[in-house]
Structure 1
Amino acid sequence: MAARRDLADSAAAHGGGAGLGSRGGGGDGVLGWVARQGLVEGLGLVYFNYPQHLEGMDPDEVKRALSTAGLAAGGVALRFPGRFRAGALTNPDAALRAEALALALGACGWARDLGASEVVVWSAFDGYDYHMQGRGERQRAAPGGASGTPLIARPPAGPQRSAAQQCRRLAALADAGATWRDLMHARSSADYDLAWRRLAEGLSALADGCGPRVNVSLEWKPTDPSSRFSFVPSTAAALLLAREVNRPSFGLTLDTGHMLMAGENPAHSAAMVAAAGKLFGMHLNDGHSRVGAEDGLIFGSVHPAAALELVYWLRRVGYGGAVYFDTFPVNEDPVREAELNIRRFKQLWARAAQLDEAGIAAALLRHDSLGAMGLIDQEGVTGAAGPLQALAAASSGGPRALNRGVQSNTAEATVSRDEL
């Protein structure tokens, strides 16, 4: 399966390959993409992939390009390169874990240099593919280290303990005052717990290293071609991890497509994370929810009712951050596609306000689905062409669009609450 389409290699990123500029208006390479994104009506912020888009660049040159385009840097999106295939912060090799943390801290440095507010962490590699694979202490890459080389789980050196011996060992540790976590770490099969601990420790160190001026936000994803099972496979797991990290500058970025892939209701997930005070970012998109697929379609194009409910709850919880349209317009003009995402979000935001005024909250308190849908019908949100047809007539006012990714073939947009 092909890699994510937003991960340009450094040659393309610096002008050697087709990008947004190939559709006209800005030229290829990172600075050309910034100029191209300046053409998107309503766009305000850019998020850069690191290291793919920024390695070898000069911060002052990037800031000048942003200023010329009428844009600003919102943050840096961390994308670990292929050498971390066996894991980034969970890699069995301590040297590679340290390298992954150093790379992440480099993203924080770029965020500070560009005047951005956050680093968004997404790792395709912190997970596993097979049962009994459990990427833990004893797993190493096969000789050669080529991309896609199978991983080998080697047995520990020395004699193996029997089950009875292991139980006696754990009992002795418990009698000596060991905690539950100590006991888990003492088990020979504690690979999942070990990976969890490494994630928590690595993200804690990253949040501490970034400092209070740059937030660290984890973008969880349940499955990916690079690791079919993620160590953080759900919103609930991500919230549990945020509790363990326990840093005020550490939170979560929720991606609509990822939540749909995990079988979640995006509005419910956003409400839970907001209630915990950890909703740092929103990625809006849509998809057909096929197993293992990330479609990156226009927001609300497949699940319009879910899109409206999600925006309603973002209003209700007082979400004040940016939202990111993480879409893949392969066959569409990326500027027009970004503008459509922006318009749709603004229309949905205005529509959610109308539903509030119509008293939909009372229907929700009664768990009255028919009453809620009746209000939506009364307000003209349904029709032969679907809910979004009527939304086009909603107020044109709304949030300022921001852009979170200078990417090889996407024009991703985000929206902030400051102009609602």
Structure 2
Amino acid sequence: MSNQKYGAGIWHFATYVDRYATDGYGPPRSLVEMIDLAGQVDDLSVVDINYPFPGGETSMEKIEEALRRNNLTVIGITPEIYTRRFAKGAFTNPDPGIRRLANEMVNEAANVVRRFNASYVKLWPGQDGWDYPFQVDHRRVWQQSIEGVAELAEQNPDLRFVIEYKPREPRVHMSYDSVARTLLGIEKMGVPNVGILLDFGHSLYGGESPADAAQLAIDHGRLFGMDVNDNLRSWDDDLIAGSVHPIELFEFFYTLRKNKWEGVWQLDQFPFREDSVRAANSAIGFLKGIERALDKLDFEAMQKAQDEHDAVTALKLARDALFTSY
């Protein structure tokens, strides 16, 4: 029986707005309501929660009770350093007062991580970057990106921080836009407790091979977390995992298994129009198929095919394992 844990960002169970349906795709939900929905998903045991808590004022005690009754634990806390007050950046904001506010918010989130005995603080500095040529001093913005995270890591040496990189959105160009650039920044920080949370969809639409990105992060000892979804490569669609790129998703998990990487397999999906519980069950069902396929795959034969750069044999091995396991 598998011991693999499955998780999801709690936002998977929220309701959404976009620039067209500004009235939303459903009624607003409180955090407790989101947790209760997450508890209806088969085999889901872990959640990532935003901070400040979404859906209005909710006490820590009510959240803990909701987690207990749904048999859920918290893997990470994601501070919302990407909202309107941070429109010009969090760590890279030209206003030092806003930069200090970002630091304070993340430190508050760090205390919530301790309260829940979670694994990490997740940093997604979506507003850090630029939109136009000549808009910023690139050296200064990059230095601020590095120094802002390094300061937090040094202030909280007992905790792990993960950076979730993304090419763009909401900024046209984000500071942490790729696995390579993020690794460069982390190495420059020189701290042991900062790593990468690799989002499969961000890697895809950034033009990377997610398997290659994972290998690079692992080789540098910095793959601290991961989440999966899918997209059509031109945007961060956050579709159900495995719905568009099943072979590349399988290669991604093959790379994790090959390197003996262990951690939660987490969903970062945005089911705008779909039932959130069914969408999560659909994704986890496919991930379980990938687990079975990894157990079935002939790793020695795959390595031999890869050593010879034999694409036809390698693909046959992968397809035979995956498409007979779902």
TM-score computed with the length of structure 1 as normaliser: 0.69
What are the ranges of 5 or more consecutive residues in structure 2 without an aligned counterpart? 1-10, 16-22
Residue of structure 1 equivalent to 2:162 = 217
Residue of structure 1 equivalent to 2:280 = 338
TM-superposed deviation, 1:28: 3.5
Per-residue CA distance 1:335-373 (angstroms, 9 max, x = gap): 111111111112112212322356211111221111212
Q: Does 1:195 align with 2:129?
A: no
Does the 8 A contact of 1:34 with 1:69 survive in 2? yes
1:245 counterpart letter in structure 2: M
Q: Match of 1:88, SS?
A: coil
Structure-2 separation of matches of 1:289 and 1:124:
19
Structure-1 separation of matches of 2:162 and 2:281:
26
Q: Match of 1:359, SS?
A: helix
Does the 8 A contact of 1:88 with 1:97 survive in 2? yes
Q: Match of 2:44, SS?
A: coil
Per-residue CA distance 1:17-36 (angstroms, 9 max, x = gap): 9899x6xxxx9311121112
Structure-2 separation of matches of 1:282 and 1:267:
12
Give the alignment partner of residue 259 of structure 1, picking from 174, 194, 203: 203
Does the 8 A contact of 2:161 with 2:195 survive in 1? yes
* Bigger Cα displacement from structure 2, 51-60 vs 302-311: 51-60
Higher relative contact order (CA 8 A, sep 6+): 1
Give the alignment partner of residue 112 of structure 1, picking from 106, 110, 114: 114
TM-superposed deviation, 1:287: 0.4
Residue of structure 2 equivalent to 1:314 = 256
Does the 8 A contact of 2:150 with 2:191 survive in 1? yes
Seen in structure 2, the aligned counterparts of structure 1 residues 68 and 129 have a Cα distance that, compared at 3 Å, is same
* Bigger Cα displacement from structure 2, 58-67 vs 116-125: 58-67
2:305 counterpart letter in structure 1: A
Structure-2 separation of matches of 1:69 and 1:52:
18
Alignment of 1:35-184 (within 5 A): 35-53=36-54, 56-80=57-81, 81-134=83-136
TM-score computed with the length of structure 2 as normaliser: 0.88
2:54 counterpart letter in structure 1: H
Q: Match of 1:391, SS?
A: coil
Q: Match of 1:76, SS?
A: strand
TM-superposed deviation, 1:209: 2.2
Give the alignment partner of residue 325 of structure 1, picking from 247, 267, 274: 267
Per-residue CA distance 1:255-312 (angstroms, 9 max, x = gap): 111111110000000010011110011110110112xx21111111111111111110
Structure-1 separation of matches of 2:183 and 2:321:
37
Give the alignment partner of residue 247 of structure 1, picking from 182, 188, 191: 191
2:132 counterpart letter in structure 1: Y
1:310 counterpart letter in structure 2: F
Structure-2 separation of matches of 1:210 and 1:356:
43
Larger Cα Rg: Structure 1 or Structure 2? 1
Does the 8 A contact of 1:120 with 1:219 survive in 2? yes
Q: Match of 1:124, SS?
A: coil
Structure-1 separation of matches of 2:25 and 2:272:
11
1:203 counterpart letter in structure 2: V
Per-residue CA distance 1:169-199 (angstroms, 9 max, x = gap): xxxxxxxxxxxxxxxxxxxxxx111111111
Does the 8 A contact of 2:25 with 2:273 survive in 1? no
2:34 counterpart letter in structure 1: W
Does the 8 A contact of 1:312 with 1:349 survive in 2? no
Q: Match of 2:298, SS?
A: helix
Structure-2 separation of matches of 1:372 and 1:67:
44
Does the 8 A contact of 1:257 with 1:296 survive in 2? yes
Does the 8 A contact of 2:12 with 2:276 survive in 1? no
Residue of structure 1 equivalent to 2:7 = none
1:270 counterpart letter in structure 2: A
TM-superposed deviation, 1:7: 11
What are the ranges of 5 or more consecutive residues in structure 1 without an aligned counterpart? 10-16, 135-190, 382-386, 393-420
Does the 8 A contact of 1:111 with 1:117 survive in 2? yes
2:173 counterpart letter in structure 1: F
TM-superposed deviation, 1:57: 3.1
Residue of structure 2 equivalent to 1:208 = 154
TM-superposed deviation, 1:54: 8.3
Residue of structure 2 equivalent to 1:28 = 29
Structure-2 separation of matches of 1:105 and 1:201:
15
Per-residue CA distance 1:197-241 (angstroms, 9 max, x = gap): 1111110111122331x21000011111x3101112211001101
Structure-1 separation of matches of 2:61 and 2:114:
12
Structure-2 separation of matches of 1:240 and 1:357:
31
Seen in structure 2, the aligned counterparts of structure 1 residues 380 and 278 have a Cα distance that, compared at 3 Å, is closer
Q: Does 1:361 align with 2:296?
A: no
Seen in structure 2, the aligned counterparts of structure 1 residues 313 and 79 have a Cα distance that, compared at 3 Å, is same
2:325 counterpart letter in structure 1: L
Does the 8 A contact of 1:8 with 1:52 survive in 2? no
Q: For the aligned residues, what is the CA RMSD?
A: 2.3
TM-superposed deviation, 1:380: 5.9
Count of equivalent residues:
308
* Bigger Cα displacement from structure 2, 259-268 vs 342-351: 342-351
Residue of structure 2 equivalent to 1:147 = none
Q: Match of 2:34, SS?
A: helix
